[in-house]
Every structure is written in C-alpha cells, then in structure tokens.
Chains A and B, each alone.
Chain A
Amino acid sequence: MVRRLTPILLLSLYVLPIATLALLSVAATWEYPQLLPKMQINLLSRIVSDGVGWGFLTSLQVALPVAIISVVLGFLSSYRLLGSRYRSVWLWLALIPFCTAPVILSLEMQYFFIRFGLTAQRVGVVIGQLLIGIPYATVLFSLFWSADRLKQEEVARTLGCSRLQIMQHIHIPAAGGILKLVFTQLFLFSWFEYGMTQMLGVGQVQTLPVLIFKSTQEANLALAAGACLVLILLPVIFIIFTRKIAFR
C-alpha cells in the first residue's frame, strides 16, 4: 500500500503546485468561499499579449547564447589547459566568480558595463552571465580532459589526423554526455537567473524571472502565474529530453 502510494504522493507534490499555477493564470476572481475561481479563458491571450510571450523570447535570447558560448569556450579553454604547467592555477582562478553571488559580481562590474553602454541591453546581460558561465564550464570540462585523452590525441596524430579531425572525430563524440550535461546546467542557470539580469538589465531586459517578480510586486497574480508556468514548462521538457540522451 505504502509502496503504491509513494509515487502518487511524490508526483502530486510536483504536479499540484503546477496545477495551482495553471488555475491562477486563468482566474479572473477567486473569492471566499468559492472552491474554484471564476475562470476567464481569454485571460490566457491577455497574459500572452501582456508580455509573457516576449518574456519567453527574451529569456531564450539570453539563455541560449549563454549556454552555447560557455560550452564552446569552456570546452576549448579546458582543452588548452591540458598539459599546461599552470593548469591548477588557471582552474583555481576560474573559481573566483563563484566566491561572490552573481548579483554582487554584477555590482562590481557595473561601472564597466555603464562605461561600454552595455546596461539595459540583452547583450550586456549575456556578457554578464558569461562571466560565470565560461569559468563554470571550464572547471567542469577539466574533469573530462585526462592524460589518456592527450595520449589518444598523440596516437591519432601519428595515424595522420589533423587537430581539427581529432576534435571532430575523437574528442567531441567522446565528450557527448558531459557536453549535453553542461549545456543543460548552463541553460537552466541562465533561464532562472534574476539578480544579475535585473541589475545589468535595469528592468529593461524582461526575461521571465524579471517579469514574474515585476508582476508579483504589481499584484498581477494571473500574469505572474502564467509567466511561472512558461518558466518551468521549458526546463521540464528540457530535462526529460536530456535525461533520455545524456544519462543513457
């Protein structure tokens, strides 16, 4: 009985808050003692027109470049560190951005962002998040690069392979799992990031988390709930998809 109920209980722990959000997003009014709110389906289209759709696109325009650029540069820089005499020093330096919270890091960097006209710009938020994303990816990918990889590369070179062929046919396919894993983590970091986005975007770069905080402050519950739904929907699909391919 307990064994049968446990998965149902766990599932409901996850599904119930989402169902409540879905309900709130279409609630026109919800007054005591009504068990269910008065629903207004056309609220959904209002939510979309109120900025959730744009918030979704903005979040995507920030999270995708952050994840892609961090993965590419992190992979290449950790590869460059392989066999370097100062590898441990560089990896130690890569941990520095994590000594402070993203919002404090952006406070420290804000002068330069204002100086270069990057505040209130999507590109500024992307650059800010890359300051965390690239070192994070570098540290994680350094676990992939071992002495054996270097030896495999030497063998491949004596077999007539160029460095590009080695990267394309040996390293990237061998790193498939960790590449997908780091991409997912960085995408989710950027997708849910609020403090730095708000600080560097000065409220002008309205990603979904920024929109949720804003609509909550304005007591616009339907908009906040709708934005929350969209915010968690994509990562859920993402995790289901990557669970299938990355952790096989």
Chain B
Amino acid sequence: MLEIRNIAKTFGTTPVLRDVSLQCKGGETLSVLGKSGCGKTTLLKIIAGLMTPDAGTIEHSGKDLTHVPVEQRGIVYLSQEPLLFPHMTAAQNISFGMRMRRRTKEEVAEATDSMLHALGLQEHGGKLPEALSGGQKQRVAFGRALLVEPKVLLLDEPFGSLDAGTREEMQQFYLRLTKTYGFAALFVTHDVKEALVTGSTFARMERGELTLFADLDAFVNDPNGDVAKERQFWRNLK
C-alpha cells in the first residue's frame, strides 16, 4: 500500500502542496480531480521521485521511499503525452524497461508479444511511434509501464490529448487493465466523468490541498466539488 504523509512543497514564496496525505491500496485507483495549476502534477512528481518535497514522507508497504532514487522506487509516471522513444518501434518501446533490467531475450520477446496482444496492438509492434495514432501511442505507453511490473502507476491526465471518442475507449481499456494487472494507481484528471469512470476511491485537489472522500456518494455530493457544479449545469439546461 502507498502511503503519503503530510507532503508540502513551495516554489519561491508560493505554496503548491499543503500537508497532503493519502493512501492507495493494491488494485485500487485513486482518482484525483482538480483544475490546472492546483498542484496535481507536482504531487505525482514528488511521489515518483522526480521532485523532492519540502516536508512529509512517502512509504510503500511500510518501506520509506522519500529519499530512494527515482529508478529504484518501482513507481512509474505516465503523462498526458505518451512520450514514446521516437527511434524505437512500438515493440521496442514496450520492452524497454525489461531490456534495461537485462532480462533474457526469450523472456523479453515472450512478455512483449503477450503485452502487444493484451493491448490489441499485435499488428503494430514493428511500427515507429510516428506511424501510430494517438490512442495507439498511449496504449504503447501503458504497455511500456506495465511490463516493468510497477508497485504504483501515476497517471497525469493520460488521455488529456485524445479526442472524445478515443478518450472514452481508452477509459474502458484502462479499467480492463486494472482488472487484469491489479496495480495501485493515482489517476489525476480535471475531467469529472473521467474521474468517476476510472476511480475506485476519490479525492479533490484545490490550491494544493487534498480532500479525500469516504466513498463515491461523498464525492458526488460534495457541495464544493465539480460533480455538484456539473449536475447543477445539466439541471439548469433547458
């Protein structure tokens, strides 16, 4: 289980994260809903180890990860852009993490092949990223992350750059992956519907402060939350 306690971060004189604490169990997706600039990306980068917090601790299964180097944390970060390596094919991108861990060629080939099938990309393994669509690129990015068997997956608006149709398709694809691989994930988004579809637990982030909700009802009925505003909008629409 991932446990974040009292994380704080300030840029210059501007506090970006204030006393953020959360928990995320294996097989669970914590959806964090928040507007741009509320500190979501900073929180994910601190958990991944790409930024250092001013205060607070990060633990996984009781082990303190606060000062563990990024490459040894086992926490994979996925951003809005797929950020595939442009000189590698889809298959090479997917197998990248395994190859860096010096696994045998047979192991890598078998795992990559099976991941390509799971992603529905078996016919695209030999293609370079430039020949793939936006959705396919994001699938490859997921495959690349999952093949290293991460303890936690951090998703920073991963479907933000996709069109509405592909986005919905990718949300369903994500749910299938969570069932198959059972990883713990933090999914940050500014899209209410996406937060509801992908999350199993919910939180809201505003001006660097994180509010955790006991269940879906509490999240949906939060009077200050975006879900309430969205419902109000549809009610007022004539």
Interface check B100, CB cutoff 8 A: yes
Interface check A162, CB cutoff 8 A: yes
Chain A residue contacts of B87, Cβ below 8 A: 173-174, 176
Stretch touching chain A among B67-75, B178-186, B198-206, B225-233: B67-75
Interface check A161, CB cutoff 8 A: yes
Contacts A154-B77, A155-B79: A160 and B71 contacting too (C-beta < 8 A)?
A: yes
Contacts A152-B85, A170-B85, A173-B87: A158 and B50 contacting too (C-beta < 8 A)?
A: yes
CB interface residues, A 163-182, toward B, < 8 Å: 165, 169-170, 173-174, 176
> Which of these, A151, A157, A160, A161, contacts B79 with CB under 8 Å?
A151
A174 CA to B83 CA, complexed, in Å: 13
- Among A155, A160, A162, chain B packs the most CB atoms within 10 A around the CB of A155
Task: Show 25 A/B contacts (Cβ-Cβ < 8 Å), sorted by A.
Answer: A151-B79, A151-B81, A151-B83, A152-B83, A152-B85, A154-B45, A154-B70, A155-B76, A155-B77, A156-B85, A156-B96, A157-B50, A157-B70, A157-B71, A158-B48, A158-B154, A159-B96, A159-B100, A159-B145, A160-B74, A161-B97, A161-B100, A169-B99, A169-B100, A173-B87
A158→B86 contact, CB < 8 A: no
A162→B83 contact, CB < 8 A: no
Chain B residue contacts of A170, Cβ below 8 A: 85
Chain A residue contacts of B75, Cβ below 8 A: 158
Contacts A154-B50, A154-B77, A155-B77: A160 and B100 contacting too (C-beta < 8 A)?
A: yes
Interface check B101, CB cutoff 8 A: yes
CB interface residues, B 177-224, toward A, < 8 Å: none
Contacts A160-B101, A165-B100: A155 and B83 contacting too (C-beta < 8 A)?
A: yes
Contacts A151-B79, A154-B77: A159 and B85 contacting too (C-beta < 8 A)?
A: no
The total of Cβ contacts below 8 Å across the A-B interface reads 61
Which partner residue on chain A sits nearest B45 by CB separation? A154
CB-CB nearest 9 A-B residue pairs: A159-B97, A157-B70, A158-B77, A173-B87, A158-B76, A152-B83, A174-B87, A160-B71, A155-B83
A169 CA to B85 CA, complexed, in Å: 10
**Contact residues of B: prevailing secondary structure:** mixed
Interface check A148, CB cutoff 8 A: yes
Q: Which size bracket describes the interface of B in this complex?
A: 20 to 34
A173 CA to B48 CA, complexed, in Å: 26
Chain A residue contacts of B40, Cβ below 8 A: none
Number of interface residues of A (CB under 8 A): 18
Closest Cβ–Cβ distance, residue B109 to chain A (whole Å): 18
Chain B residue contacts of A151, Cβ below 8 A: 79, 81, 83
A214 CA to B103 CA, complexed, in Å: 61
Which partner residue on chain B sits nearest A177 by CB separation? B87
- Contact flags B73-113 to A (C-beta < 8 A → 1, else 0): 11111110101011100000000110111000000000000
Chain B residue contacts of A158, Cβ below 8 A: 48-50, 70-71, 73, 75-77, 154
Interface check B148, CB cutoff 8 A: yes
A160 CA to B49 CA, complexed, in Å: 12
Closest Cβ–Cβ distance, residue B63 to chain A (whole Å): 17
A165 CA to B70 CA, complexed, in Å: 14
Chain A residue contacts of B72, Cβ below 8 A: 160
A160 CA to B96 CA, complexed, in Å: 10
Excluding A156-B85, A160-B72, 4 further A-B contacts by CB distance (< 8 Å) are A155-B77, A158-B77, A159-B148, A174-B87
A160→B148 contact, CB < 8 A: yes
Interface check B144, CB cutoff 8 A: yes
A158 CA to B69 CA, complexed, in Å: 9
B77→A161 contact, CB < 8 A: no
Chain B residue contacts of A154, Cβ below 8 A: 45, 48, 50, 70, 77
A174 CA to B48 CA, complexed, in Å: 25
Chain A residue contacts of B101, Cβ below 8 A: 160
B85→A162 contact, CB < 8 A: no
A174 CA to B77 CA, complexed, in Å: 21
Closest Cβ–Cβ distance, residue B114 to chain A (whole Å): 18
Chain B residue contacts of A161, Cβ below 8 A: 71, 97, 100
> Which of these, B79, B81, B86, B144, contacts A159 with CB under 8 Å?
B144
